[in-house]
Structure 1
Amino acid sequence: MREDFLHYLWKYKKFAFAKAKTTTNIAITITSLGEHNHLAGPDFFNSRLRIGEQEWAGNVEIHIKSSDWYAHGHETDPAYDNVILHVVWEHDVDIFRSDNSALPTLQLKEYVDKEALESYTTLFENQSKKWINCEVKLPDVPDHIWNHWQERLYFERLERKTETIREIVRQSKNDWEATLFVMLMRAFGTSVNGDSFQSLAAHLDFSVIRKCAQEPFRLEALLLGAGGLLPDDSVDSYALQLQGEYEFVQHKFQVDTQGVLPIQFFKLRPDNFPTIRLSQVAMLYHTIPGLFQKLMEVTHLDEFYDLLQVQASTYWDTHYSFATSQKKRVKKMSKAFVDLLLINTIIPIKFAYSQYIGKDQTATILDFITAIQAEQNSIIKKYNTLRPKAENALQSQALIQLKKEYCNVHKCLQCSVGNWLIGK
């Protein structure tokens, strides 16, 4: 038995509440269940009950056993003086408040439907052998519940990203262009170098980026040099030119890169090599002055793809690194990579900025995200074996949120799927 199951039973009245009595056989009438408290203190605030003929207003505390009251030290905590009902699964000891008055107790196990209890037990049994708790029953969930839950999950994930964006905006003193640069750098670093690229962006004053962006070679030298990617002993002429330019820029703008996280090539596909991605960033900021404003003005998805037609500088047509040359191939940002930029950076910033200026763009965000193809990773592939295939980015983002924030930590009782499976 888990305490969050008891919270679920109380919050949604999933017990024979009309028949409820205290352990001393006094009838309980529930006027208001109260507000669920997820922080320190009693579990439900501002509940209203009638116990016998007495009306009560106060808090409700929930435990597996009555003795948990003493195990958690509530008898000496003033925060629990206003508890009016102790809800437990098993009553094993009488509880007294700090003033020695008896605390009324409701033993839930007498009032819970057996089918609901069996559904709950089935959901959580053999956890170590299952990818997710509901994997056998997930196909049974009605489409309208599944689809609505996915939309909620997407906006939950989007709001979490928005919180990160707001913090970067605060640190940049409300410079949204600088915020976009930091977020784009993280995205260009992908999962391997995301932290390192963001660290690099945080060490570069965006005013310097604006100035250097007028000359793409200079901006490329700044990014590669500050990222520690220019070799000291190279005989490659382009590398030597970049090194010389970087030394000039570093001195001119007093660039301090102490503390920038190391950038790595290990386990990366060549198209994601940091040399290629940083050159693409340089060309992006050179070819699109006022990038932030242009992105915020986009109203149709195709405009993003037209705007982000960017490729690395010509040197990289025949290189992935400074060490060796390769067969010529233009290093253009692929549609799949642009989709990742849209999903993880541009759409979240557009959403955050719309909130900042007080403009509701929820419908536009939905139009964008549902028009982008679903991501492909191990999480999405596994869910696709359990239910019909995720077709768009809203669904794939929702599934990532579901797996990481609910399934992995067994928050089935906060999940619409788990609620339906237990309560059906």
Structure 2
Amino acid sequence: MLFTEDFLHYVWKFRLFDRSDLRTEDGETLEIFSTGIHNSDSGPDFHNARIKIGETLWAGNVEVHLSASDWQKHGHTTDEAYNNVILHVVYNNDLPLKLNNGRTVPTLQLNNRVPAELYGRYHQMIFGNQTIIPCEASIGTVDGLIMHNWLTRVLVERLEKKSAAVIAALAINRGDWEETFYQFLAANFGFKTNALPFELLAKSLPQLTLAKNKNNPMQIEALIFGQAGFLEGDLKDDYPVKLKKEYDYLRKKYSLNPIENHLWKFMRLRPPNFPTIRLAQFAALIVSANHLFSKILEIKDIDALRNLFASIKTNEYWDNHYRFDVPSKPLPKVMGAASVDVLLINTLALFLFSYGKHHQQQYYISRALKLLENLPAEKNNITADFVNLGVKITNAFESQALIELKNNYCNYKKCLQCGVGNKILKLS
């Protein structure tokens, strides 16, 4: 048989082996009351197991290996943390185990006790020739409740991981939630293609500086386009010329240094997604929304949250431009519904969750999850693959969870740690 030690951990943890007439290698009867708590840190594999060997009831740790000789190979012989192991579970007992203190550790050999059907399903998932995910042949048949429960856990894992970055940035910003939200919102305004320059822009232009000029839209636009590096060189149209004049003054006033303009990407983008248009929309949002994060904490209605972004109106110059000094057909530059929903998913839901987690207020965590439940599912290559495999995706709650599942479980074939993989493996 070809399998990893993790598989043997899985078999022991869920007692998925033939338990009839269990005996140690010394011939003593063995009863298992508890396999113990699986330990993912250093030390024995399972803590606080309860077993009965012969007439003696034992409580302690269990160590699991493919071969008994792995005890020495893994350096356990000289590690005192393993001196209280009460049972050695192995697939192949190739070497009797005796501790330095002379105590012989009882050994249970699982060779010939692992069901062939279970091993077959495992082998197919881990070593098969799947093209999308390890369980692609079976995931569409998994019970909806089991799938929902697991996706809920995976989604929380995703949000907790992403919120760690929020809290780290919050510490750098000295606990200023508004500034931290502003920086993350800016990065997400660039979507994937221009996320980095947008993030650098926000860090080079503090929200406090923008707030000082909030009553003057031209100055806000000048600061944003100037810091983005779009007001360098010769400009022809009146609008960018005025912006440049304002920026030259403000740059000296606030000792600003613009980011490098070459960081912005235009290639393979549709004109409505050009960074110049996104910057114009970002400037309009700054002008229209004061204390934006505080508003988001207060607004519960999803349509009202959407309207914060959908209602922003750029300077009329952009109605017939996508770049400075390059006229185009007249078309108002408003944010599309899909773009707005992406911001709600990646910024608003994340910050509601992070705020609730940081302040230990379940109310905001629940609001974050509820927001995702009420947003449409994302459409991308990952979600399309799951749909083709028979998985129903009805909202952003599920699409976000499936993205996490694919990237951090399926791609690494962590089927034994996956609730869906567990269910498929244990099918009778």
Alignment of 1:267-416 (within 5 A): 267-308=268-309, 309-322=311-324, 324-361=326-363, 362-416=365-419
**1:383 offset after TM fit, Å?**
0.8
Aligned partners of 2:401, 2:82: CA distance in 1, in Å?
Answer: 38
**1:186 offset after TM fit, Å?**
1.3
**1:268 offset after TM fit, Å?**
2.3
AA paired with 2:232? P
Match of 2:89 in 1: 87
Match of 2:153 in 1: 152
Please, which moves more after superposition, 317-326 or 391-400?
317-326
Match of 1:223 in 2: 224
Instruction: Calculate the aligned-residue CA RMSD, in Å.
Output: 2.4
Q: Which runs of 5+ in 1 are unaligned?
A: none
Match of 2:10 in 1: 8
AA paired with 1:86? H
Secondary structure of 2:31's counterpart equals strand
- Return the TM-score normalized by structure 2: 0.91
1:75-105 deviation line (CA, Å, top 9, x unaligned):
2333333333222222222333333533332
Aligned partners of 2:6, 2:28: CA distance in 1, in Å?
Answer: 26
Secondary structure of 1:379's counterpart equals helix
* Number of aligned residue pairs: 423
Change (3 A) 1:324 1:112: same
Change (3 A) 1:90 1:248: farther
**1:131 offset after TM fit, Å?**
1.1
Secondary structure of 2:155's counterpart equals helix
AA paired with 1:39? D
1:158-216 deviation line (CA, Å, top 9, x unaligned):
22222222222222111111111011011101111223322332333332132233322
AA paired with 1:70? Q
Aligned partners of 2:226, 2:183: CA distance in 1, in Å?
Answer: 17
Secondary structure of 2:378's counterpart equals coil
Please, which moves more after superposition, 9-18 or 381-390?
9-18
1:282-310 deviation line (CA, Å, top 9, x unaligned):
11111111211111111121111222211
AA paired with 1:75? T
**1:44 offset after TM fit, Å?**
1.9
Change (3 A) 1:199 1:232: same
Aligned partners of 1:202, 1:45: CA distance in 2, in Å?
Answer: 47
**1:258 offset after TM fit, Å?**
6.9
Match of 1:200 in 2: 201
Aligned partners of 2:386, 2:72: CA distance in 1, in Å?
Answer: 43
Match of 2:176 in 1: 175
Alignment of 1:244-283 (within 5 A): 244-256=245-257, 262-283=263-284
Secondary structure of 1:277's counterpart equals helix
**1:118 offset after TM fit, Å?**
2.1
Q: Does 2:67 correspond to 1:65? A: yes
CA contact (8 A) 1:203 1:260 kept: no
Secondary structure of 1:331's counterpart equals coil
Please, which moves more after superposition, 187-196 or 307-316?
307-316
Aligned partners of 1:105, 1:320: CA distance in 2, in Å?
Answer: 73
CA contact (8 A) 1:227 1:262 kept: no
Aligned partners of 2:235, 2:259: CA distance in 1, in Å?
Answer: 23
Secondary structure of 2:23's counterpart equals coil
Q: Which runs of 5+ in 2 are unaligned?
A: none
AA paired with 2:362? D
CA contact (8 A) 1:199 1:261 kept: no
Change (3 A) 1:117 1:256: same
Please, which moves more after superposition, 294-303 or 237-246?
237-246
Aligned partners of 1:162, 1:79: CA distance in 2, in Å?
Answer: 35
Match of 2:240 in 1: 239
**1:352 offset after TM fit, Å?**
2.0
Q: Does 2:125 correspond to 1:123? A: yes
**1:416 offset after TM fit, Å?**
1.7
Change (3 A) 1:230 1:351: same
2:424 to 418, 421, 424: 421
Aligned partners of 2:40, 2:160: CA distance in 1, in Å?
Answer: 19
CA contact (8 A) 2:48 2:60 kept: yes
Change (3 A) 1:33 1:316: same
Aligned partners of 2:289, 2:104: CA distance in 1, in Å?
Answer: 72
AA paired with 1:243? K
Aligned partners of 1:227, 1:61: CA distance in 2, in Å?
Answer: 58
Alignment of 1:15-94 (within 5 A): 15-17=17-19, 19-94=21-96
Aligned partners of 1:396, 1:29: CA distance in 2, in Å?
Answer: 44
Aligned partners of 2:263, 2:48: CA distance in 1, in Å?
Answer: 52
**1:410 offset after TM fit, Å?**
0.5
Change (3 A) 1:215 1:25: farther
1:210-258 deviation line (CA, Å, top 9, x unaligned):
2233322222222222222333233344333323322322221222457
Change (3 A) 1:204 1:29: farther
Please, which moves more after superposition, 62-71 or 410-419?
62-71
Aligned partners of 2:91, 2:260: CA distance in 1, in Å?
Answer: 53
Please, which moves more after superposition, 82-91 or 295-304?
82-91
**1:409 offset after TM fit, Å?**
0.7
Aligned partners of 1:259, 1:85: CA distance in 2, in Å?
Answer: 63
- Return the TM-score normalized by structure 1: 0.92
